[in-house]
Amino acid sequence: MDAIIYHNPACETSRNTLAMIRNAGIEPHIIEYLKCPPTRLLLAQLLKRAGLTVRQVLREKGTPFQDLGLNDLSLSDDALLDAIGAHPILINRPIVVTPQGVRLCRPSELVLDLLPPQHGPFIKENGERVIDEHGRRVATA
């Protein structure tokens, strides 16, 4: 299976998502979107395929979101895409693409819906058990 992850190695959620992709036996194409951001057209296509609006993919924490006034709900998608183009850190991550679809994987477990079965247990960096020793999802409380 082919997979693409728009990844930020400094992000724990992104690292966990990448690790679950690999735990499914897939070595994805890794695009560090801060170094190589998607074009405006590609981002718009990814969002459409994921069923997301531009506003839904905007990241507020640790970004210039507030300074740029992006909380103004009257801003158009074009204005938001312009801001993302100038500041790729505004893209919430990770975004994963597989033949099963496109998804913003927050929380990281959302990637499991896009993947074949896991090859054994998986525990997140924070110690949370996600997949048991039989490759099955662990129920959360």
Q: What is the dihedral of CA 109, 114, 118, 121, to 10 degrees?
A: 0
Continuous segment of H or E residues that includes residue 31: strand 29-32
**At 85, phi and psi to the nearest 5?**
-60, -40
Rounded Cα distance, 119 and 34, in Å:
30
Contact 55/1 with Cβ under 8 angstroms? no
What is the crossing angle of helices 40-50 and 77-86, to 10°? 120
Query: How close are the terminal C-alpha atoms of the chain, in Å?
Result: 31
**36 catalytically annotated:** no
Rounded Cα distance, 28 and 20, in Å: 11
Catalytic residue among 5, 6, 8, 11: 11
Catalytic residues: 11
